[in-house]
Structure formats: C-alpha cells, structure tokens
Chains A and B, each alone.
Chain A
Amino acid sequence: MNTRGVSASPPGYFDTASTEPLHPAAREVLLAAADEGWADPARLYGAARRARMLLDNAREIVAAVIGARPDEVTFTGSGTQAIQLGMLGTAAGRRRQGDGPRVVAVSAVEHSAVLQTAAHLERHDGTTTREVGVGPDGRVDPAAFTKAIDDDTVLACLQAANHEVGTVQPVDEIETGDVPLLVDAAQAAGRAPLPRSWSVLTASAHKWGGPAGVGVLAVRRNVRWRSPLPDDERGGGRAPGFENVPGALAAAAALSARWEEAEAVAARQRELVDHIRARVPELLDDVDVVGHPTLRLPHLVTFSCLYVDGEALVTELDRAGFAISSGSSCTSSTLRPSHVLAAMGALTHGNVRVSLTRDATRVDVDRLLAAVVDVVTRLRAGLEAL
C-alpha cells in the first residue's frame, strides 16, 4: 500500500464509479513521462521518437488488456469523446449522405453520452433510435437485443456493464450479423473481464485510476469508420489534436497495474458489496436494493430508500464525511430521475450509489452503513407510521 499518502484513497470516498483516485503506479509514470514524453510524437528527431515510442508503448499495454490490436487503439480527450467519435464515425462509415441503414439500437440503460450521441444522430443524420428495455435487474435480454438489430440498423450500442447499478450486460450473447456493435466499457475496464464481440470499444482512464483527460477508442480493423470531424493526422486520424503522451502512458500504467490486481481487488470488493446488499435491508425498512444479485461489477452497489429526498441524503452524508452519488432527480441538473433506475422500474427517490475504492475495508463500509442508517432515520422522522 502507498505510504506517502498522496495516492491512498481519501477516507469516506465511496464514488469511484464517478472517478477513481489516481493509482500509485500511474502517479510515478505520469511524472516520469512528463519529463520523457513531452516532444511532438509526429516529428523525426530523438526526443520526438522517444515520445512516439512511449505513445506506442501505451497503446500496446491498453490493447493487451482490452483484447485489441495496438493499431486498433486511439487515445481520445475523454471517455465521452471516445463514445462520440466511435458512434458518429461508425455511422458515417456505413451511411452516405443520408442513404443506408438508419436505425441506431441502444439499451435503455446506456450512459447518457451514448443516448445523447444517438439523439444527435437523429437530429443531424435522420436516424431513429430503437431503445431496448431491461429487466428489473437492469439486464438486457440478449434475444430481445438481437431482435432489435436488423438490415436497417446502422449501429448497435450495448454497455459492458451499467454505471449506476453495476449489472453486467450479456454482450457476447448478442448476435449482430454485419451490424457494428459499440461497447461502452467505461465502468468495467480494469475491473472485470471485458466482452470480446465488439466492433468498437470505448473506455475512460480516470475510471480505472488513470489521469483525467484520457479516453480510449478501439475500432476493429474490419470496421468501416469515417471521421465525423475535419481531417487531422493526429491520433491515427481518429482523434484530433496533439497527443497527450504522458497522460496516455500513465493511463496505460494504471490499467496494467489495476488489471494485475483486478482479481484480488474484485474478490475483496464482492465480499463488501454482498455485505452491503444483505445488511441494508436488515438495517432499514422500505429499501429497494437495485441491480443484478450476481452478474454485477465488483465495486458498485445501489439502493433506494422510500420517503427520503435524494439531495438531502447526499448532503447529509457529505456532512458526516462520506462521498456518495445518487440517481435521484433532485440531484441531477435536469431534475429528471435517473433513466437507468426508471427503465428498471426501481424506486428513483432516496437513491444511493456506493462504489468502492480498491483498498476499501469492512471497517470503512460499516462506518458508511452506520451513517446511512442514521441519516435515513433522521430524514424519515415523523414518517414512522407509514
């Protein structure tokens, strides 16, 4: 464990599904790569060749973990940008000036970046979006998703696992035929084995303990992809602008370190998540524990407490020293409840998403649970008879 304190997980932090603190391995590489990899990787002198080598090295490491070839991997400015470029570029590769297949098939529980990009394609490219629902556990039925893909489908998008409830999706059971499948692996990468049957895969480094500002876009060699942006030779012609070499290398180092420890960390986290899932309904009445009981990511668990305002819950837990996120409408800028919880038929108010750091302990979790019980009990004061 890190002894300098700089990268050790901040106490009370239970929101790694939003972002993971920098992995100790990434911190060292980030500093070293800032000194070694500052030059322009497109130039032909020594320092430039070194930067190019580091970038290639980063691509190889990431490719190995996500199950791609190095030349299929591009670093983008963020996970969201990877999703946008992945979806728009794949759609552009299959459509010519409004001709061609026009349906974008998505699950109802995709990240908003996927749903917003599908909406953008509707507005600007005349596509229609076909949303496939999920069961109460948040999982797509593979047969139903397969059925939603036909000759008229330009692109299908299914996440590796859900970012709000942790449910793993049956990506490798989907039959897409010739239709490209984009898999958003932002929440799963570095934490769980990834599906293999993708055409395009996207991820985000800060979710696995890499630095912010680094996304991953992987496009299989046999997939037609055409840039939706003005021509630019950077990023292999896929992502615009000067490459963030130190960021990419630190992201790769974090992913590699994270993947090496993934099984051990996941075993610990699963135990803690099972503990939370079992304990919360024992400690509190009227709680909806959300997400698939077993087919789930190791670090993430969600529940909703009846009669409790989500914003008050987040604020009171913050006051008690705990950072959690919520899918309740009053905590979102749009004042709409989480589309994920709504699609699952889950209770949307009083929602708590707990996501564990890699070194979270039983003591940390029990402290959080005690605080949740205290806060929920206080917020429910006067409603005991309900």
Chain B
Amino acid sequence: MSEGALVLDCRGQRCPLPIIELAKRIGDVEVGQTVTVLADDPAAASDVPAWCRMRGHEYLGADGDAYAVRRLR
C-alpha cells in the first residue's frame, strides 16, 4: 500500500488518541487524498474503519500497523 499525503505516527498511543489525532488532521489533506495512521493499539483495527463509517470517509485498509484513510468530504 502506498503511503498517503500525510502520515500520522500514533504508535505507543492508546485509543481513542490515534482516532482523535486522525480527526484533527484529516482536514490537512485535500478531499480525495489519503492519510495514513500508524497505530499499534489493537483497538485501532476496529476504530479506524468505524471512524470512517461514522464520519463519512473511506477506509482503504491496513498494512500491518498502517491504516489508510481517504478524505471524502
């Protein structure tokens, strides 16, 4: 998976911190661009896609600890 325009290193942070960081920074990329969250909290595997569903963004999948999100709005 190619990394997005923005990479957020949230390793060592516990949920919900990586999700808060993602929400704070999603506006830093243009609509259509991707943000990659690096997170080693196991909850991120559920919570990144759930956040995308709730906030109307596209979850592109995970590559190990790297979760890719496309900004849709």
Contact = CB atoms under 8 A, between A and B. Distances in A.
Contacts, number: 64
Contacts of A349: 15-16, 19, 43, 47
A36 interface: no
A303 B6 CA distance: 31
Contacts of A85: none
B16 A345 contact: no
B20 A329 contact: no
Interface string A323-334: 000001110000
A63 to B, nearest CB: 40
A179 interface: no
B54 to A, nearest CB: 6
Interface in B50-65: 50-51, 53-55
Nearest to A329: B43
The main secondary structure of chain B at its interface with chain A is helix
A342 B50 CA distance: 10
A350 B17 CA distance: 11
A308 interface: yes
A242 interface: no
A286 B50 CA distance: 11
Contacts of B31: none
A345 B55 CA distance: 14
Contacts of A304: 50
Given A341-B46, A383-B20, A386-B24, A348 B51 contact: no
Interface residues of B, number: 19
A308 B46 CA distance: 15
A337 interface: yes
A337 B50 contact: no
B11 to A, nearest CB: 15
A288 interface: yes
Interface in A334-359: 335-337, 341-342, 345-350
A329 B43 CA distance: 7
A184 interface: no
Contacts of B43: 328-329, 336-337, 348-349
Contacts of A119: none
B54 A348 contact: no
A347 B42 contact: no
Given A307-B19, A307-B20, A348 B41 contact: no
Contacts of B23: 306-307, 383, 386
A345 B53 CA distance: 9
Given A329-B42, A330-B14, A336-B42, A288 B50 contact: yes
A69 B15 CA distance: 48
A288 B46 contact: no
Given A288-B54, A307-B23, A346 B16 contact: no
B62 to A, nearest CB: 13
A286 B20 contact: no
A347 B41 contact: no
Nearest to B17: A309
Contacts of A308: 16
A286 B46 CA distance: 16
B7 interface: no
A349 B50 CA distance: 10
A286 B54 contact: yes
Given A328-B43, A349-B19, 5 more contacts: A307-B19, A329-B41, A336-B42, A347-B51, A347-B54
17 contacts: A286-B55, A307-B20, A307-B23, A328-B43, A330-B15, A336-B42, A337-B46, A337-B47, A341-B46, A345-B49, A348-B15, A349-B16, A349-B43, A383-B20, A383-B23, A386-B23, A386-B24
Interface of B: 14-16, 19-20, 23-24, 41-43, 45-47, 49-51, 53-55
Interface of A: 286, 288, 304, 306-309, 328-330, 335-337, 341-342, 345-350, 383, 386
